[in-house]
Amino acid sequence: MTRVTRDMYDQYLVPNYSPAAVIPVRGEGSRIWDQDDRCYIDFAGGIAVNALGHAHPKVVSALQTQAQKLWHLSNVFTNEPALRLAKKLCDATFAEQVYFCNSGGEANEAAFKLARRYSFDQFDSDKNQIISFHDAFHGRTLFTVSVGGQEKYTEGFGPLPGGISHLPFNDVEALGKAINKNTCAVVIEPVQGEGGVTSATPEFLAAARRLCDQHNALLIFDEVQCGMGRTGDLYAYQTFAVVPDILTTAKALGCGFPIGAMLTTEKIAKSLAVGTHGSTYGGNPLACAVAESVIDIINTSEVLEGVVTRRQTMVDGLNTINSKYPMFEEVRGAGLLIGWVLNDKWKGRSREILNQCMSNGLMLLVAGPDVVRFAPSLIITDQEIAEGLQLLEQSINQLYENSLAA
Ligand SMILES: *Cc1c(COP(=O)(O)O)cnc(C)c1O
């Protein structure tokens, strides 16, 4: 067989991504090996997906066990893993009912459609306006990308769905002015991930809750990135103590197996009556069996409390490096969604930092040109953190030397 090479990407795949030069072939915990058996420490976590690292034995076993029983039935039938997972999600949250799909974008698509449909059923067809925020990210379907707050992602894809407006994030006054009787939903990422690892303020979330109640609008939390233990609670709404009407979850829910879910109350869910919405693979037994094992592991005090201590270790390590080689002005985010905001000297250079780290064997992420992002496994070991921070220091030292030489 001919060797698989990175060149094949440029030949056979549409050019919408720009993947790294190396091809990873296996992983274990927070270590990954490429085709040449070179090892990398993983602070990227598959963009907040691999919350239990790679090849977690219990998750692998859940997939293998289910693979020998049933892969697919269609929604003509229900199945045991889906029923058990739905109950677990409801028992652990405000939710009373769940809709399953395959991705974060689909979970948000369902949430936005439900908000419109619920307002149509309960009020009138003019109540269809959705309020979202600058730099928000909600997915890549035409509806979700239009609700998202980065214009570059919708350019050239019009005509776009209407009835959507964007406000400055964390601006209580702007929200108070914009919301009205025709607003059907306000959509918030409690911690903006793609947009720069920016936390909502508790006052902003509390005000959004109050304003939605005043105007009979639904409050939707997109927890696709910041949910599933990332903030140190199962969901970020619990960390912030503000309860939404609809919550979307995906990414770490399957730890790498595609699954998404929309959580809501029974009253609101009524608007998704038979035939109104659906998905061929939504509630697929394989995906649900995996997610069940994931939630059993993550929703324990051991893992959730570990998030808080691991954040502290990583932030302390970052600050120590920064005192030797000043590079960032602020560490932000919540739990193990960590963003470091580059200082004036390094602004715009997050990609260069990522590349330097990669060449030394450390995987990390950026969130725009000015922010470097970590979204590691929630159970990354002290040893893996220490090795990763050492590689980071080495990389930053090299960048400093290069910029002195230049
Ligand atoms: C990743 C992400 C999405 C989109 O999820 P997909 O599974 O890629 O469709 C939506 N919202 C947020 C906050 C995300 O981080």
| Residue 84: pLDDT band with limits 50, 70, 90 | very high
C-alpha separations of 25 from 4, 5, 54, 361 in Å: 11, 12, 11, 15
* Dist. CA 402 → ligand 1 center (Å): 36
pLDDT over threshold 70, residue 41: yes
176 shares its domain with 83: yes
160 shares its domain with 69: yes
Which residues are within 8 A (CB) of 260 and not within 5 positions of it... i.e. 6 or more apart? 100, 101, 102, 103, 104, 105, 106, 107, 224, 248, 249, 250, 253
CATH of the domain at 130: 3.40.640.10
* Dist. CA 104 → ligand 1 center (Å): 4
178 shares its domain with 229: yes
Pocket lined around ligand 1, Cβ cut-off 6 Å: 103-105, 108, 137-139, 189, 193-194, 222, 224-225, 250-251
pLDDT tens-digit map of 133-182: 999 999 999 999 999 999 999 999 999 999 999 999 999 999 999 999 99
What average pLDDT does range 266-287 have in this prediction?
A: 97
Domain-ending residue, one of 298, 314, 342: 298
pLDDT tens-digit map of 318-369: 999 999 999 999 999 999 999 999 999 999 999 999 999 999 999 999 999 9
63 shares its domain with 194: yes
14 shares its domain with 159: no
Using CA positions, which residue lies closest to atom 11 of ligand 1?
138
Question: CA 205: distance to chain centroid?
Answer: 18
145 shares its domain with 213: yes
Give me 261's structure tokens. Answer: 């879910």
273 shares its domain with 375: no
The atom of ligand 1 lying closest to the CA of 105 is 9
215 shares its domain with 317: no
CATH of the domain at 27: 3.90.1150.10
Residue 269 lies inside a defined structural domain of this protein? yes
Domain-ending residue, one of 298, 319, 347: 298
Number of domains in the chain: 2
pLDDT over threshold 80, residue 375: yes
Q: What is the pLDDT of residue 107?
A: 98
* Dist. CA 164 → ligand 1 center (Å): 19
49 shares its domain with 165: no
Distance CA 329, CA 341 (A): 6
Mutate to test the pocket of ligand 1, among 100, 109, 145, 194 (most ligand atoms within 8 A of CB): 194
Residue 1 lies inside a defined structural domain of this protein? no
Residue 217 lies inside a defined structural domain of this protein? yes
Mutate to test the pocket of ligand 1, among 225, 226, 237 (most ligand atoms within 8 A of CB): 225
DSSP label at residue 127: -
pLDDT tens-digit map of 87-125: 999 999 999 999 999 999 999 999 999 999 999 999 999
Q: What is the pLDDT of residue 211?
A: 98
79 shares its domain with 94: yes
- Chain mean pLDDT for the chain: 97
Q: What is the pLDDT of residue 404?
A: 79
CB 303 within 8 A of CB 378: yes
Q: What is the pLDDT of residue 2?
A: 77
Domain-ending residue, one of 257, 275, 298: 298
210 shares its domain with 140: yes
* Dist. CA 108 → ligand 1 center (Å): 8
What is the percentage of the chain residues whose pLDDT exceeds 70? 100
Domain that holds residue 65: 57-298
pLDDT tens-digit map of 179-221: 999 999 999 999 999 999 999 999 999 999 999 999 999 999 9
Q: What is the pLDDT of residue 368?
A: 97
204 shares its domain with 119: yes
pLDDT tens-digit map of 298-320: 999 999 999 999 999 999 999 99
